[in-house]
Structure 1
Amino acid sequence: MLWICVGLLLALFSHVLPQEAHEPISYSCTEGYEYDTVREQCKDIDECALLDDACKGGMQCINHFGGYLCLPKSAVIFTSQEGEEMPAQDPAPPVPAVPPNQPQPPRVFPDSQRRHSPLTIHCAPGFTADEHSVCRDIDECATGRYTCGAGQTCFNTRGSYSCQCPAGYQRNRNQCVDVNECETQNPCQHHCYNLIGSFMCQCETGHERAPDLVSCQDIDECSFSSYMCQYQCINTPGSYSCECPEGYQLQSNRLCQDVNECETGTHNCQDDEMCWNYYGGFRCYPRNPCETPYTQTSENRCICRSQTECQGLPPSIVYKYMSIQAERPVPADIFQIQATNIYANTHNTFRIKAGNEAGEFFLRRSSNVSAMLVLTKPLSGPREYVVDLEMITHHLTMNYRSSSVLRLTVIVGAYAF
């Protein structure tokens, strides 16, 4: 009877088990892994392949067991294998699947897979890993890890450093030697002179260095002083020239000298005219200036021979001409008159009879037979003044008075030279 019961239980048990074997069984993996139905075990997820933007800022994505790392592109990754370091190129090891509601086993891998851990970071030369396993540049200049020569300056670069010489020098092996900028660069516009560690530019005559100290700019000599030229200064590249107005010629490269057209024959006076030169030009006057009732007795003297026609008129008129520059300083003695005939027991007086309405002149008696015409105001030209200077003679014994007139034509030039 006991065997029957046992056999019945076995039959019932064998009937139940097949039903339970066909029920589906699910498995779960740790984070960073997924279940492989073919191999029936968990395998690592390659996030670097699945996620396009797994890492930001130009960092490179390195797949890791159950996750991934974002490292600089200069980082070199090695994994340890029994004390050796090899590039981590093998795929991540699979992890056995665990049924649900079962405690997950600790992540301990077989010896064949244990070679992939632990993970170590080796940075490229010039970089070092920080506490976050990120490769950072080494500042060799700040840490003193450089070998610059005397006089050279250390400049840190990404992953290295450079040694530079001061301006005007260049490296020759481990020394700084002078650069001859005049031969290598020719920086000056005109003339270059090499100096130790530098150079100097000089400009040609009539030029000066521009603010950049290498270019040359023209010197405007005309702006230095109004005395550069007597009349007009013309600036030219590297120099200047003086010009004179019409009627003048340049003398000594600065002064203007009047051209005497009457002597050079460059006038247009007629045969019956007299050419009179003045400062800057010429005038043509009739050779016979006498008007009725006067007749000409000499080149410049006119006499009235008819007492009836010349009543109230001076018995004689003498014509004179003179030239002066414009703006002449005053007072200035400009013309002297003197009696040609001297008689005993006579007394002479002098006066300006006409042509001095604005008071430009003053006649000062010098002696009994002479007087001086004085300029009292600066005159502007070109202009012509005609002044009648009269000498009155008193005959003391005969109680007789006579007069004569000197008609002076004063021609004022256009300029003060």
Structure 2
Amino acid sequence: MRDTAEPGEAYLLYHSIGQYSGKATDLKRGMDAFCDSWAACDDGQWGFVLGQRQRFIDLWRGIVNAPEDTMTTTENVTSGLASIIGALPDKYLKGKQVLVAEDCFPSLHFLLTGLAPRLGFTLRTVPLRQGATWVEDEDFIDAWTPEVGLALLTWVSSTSSHRCDLERLVAHGREMGSVIGTDITQAAGLLPYDVHAPEVDFTLSTSLKWMCGTPGAGVIYVSPRLIPECHPDLRGWFSQDNPFSWGLDAFEFATGIRRFDHGTPASVPAVASLPALEWYNRQDHAAILSHNRELSAILLDGFDDLNLRLASPRDPDQRGGSLMVTLPDKLPGADVVSGLRDAGIHADSRSQTLRMSPGVVTTRAGVEQTLETLASITG
């Protein structure tokens, strides 16, 4: 076994930051174009920057099959959810329940906990079963009653890679009459996703992970059926169809998704992520998924050989692109991650949950070395 893996071949952090060959060159080229435009002593800056931002939005629309005028940018999934929750009329929230799973992204739970008393809803969190690492769809459905005004579905969990059955859950939610939202962050760009199949009311994501983008480049989709009912608390000149309508008593929300904009758009994250989305748009997406599944199968067999407890579904159709294992208490997660890093292998942990996600730069040799190194660390 080599002492260390070659750069990138044992990169297993696609659940955090996605990489691809040539990313640095693409990113520099994109940012150089931004710098050249923004620093030019002319009047072309906003035309360039807002055009790049719109290209970013349009590429995202293609990824999730969203109609025109239904997607815009947001800093992250938390700010996106805050914008949508704050825009909904009282009939969906006041005196109602908002339903989430215990294995949702914690930041969203923190937000909802704070919003509940102000907006008059009760936050109901579907718990993990004893000893489980993900919330079962059956338990979520059992908790989903007509009292639920809004349900937030985590498509793929960041702590187990469990993939919920969206079709089944959304069908139940329609029967309950709830607003249905999805957080697709952990699988967007790896697994196919369509806002119409099944039809949801809103979707949140970042561009960081399988999309290989940058921080701050989040997106929100809102169904054209729901947009007219939404009146965001956070609004500004860009919330209007005509941002240059500056009559102080003449504010009027845009008819489409623009009503979820507010002040001057923070466009740099979208501009910085655009090269990665352009790269992704040129790829064979089925091949990317196949590569992930092939390397994941090798990891899974290796985890079994090492007697490590799997914290993800064994069936690939029930998980995203990551595999998690629960480390024994005698092996602190941070120490295991540090030992892997010393060998040129990049993974991470959440407490005793070791997380690994092979992507396009990861190789079979890198995965095999990961397992050999992990065997030496675990003894």
Q: Where on the TM-score scale, by shorter chain, does this alignment land: which range?
A: under 0.3
Structure with greater proportional helix content: 2
Q: TM-score, normalised by structure 1?
A: 0.18
Structure with greater proportional strand content: 1
Greater Rg by CA = 1
Q: TM-score, normalised by structure 2?
A: 0.19
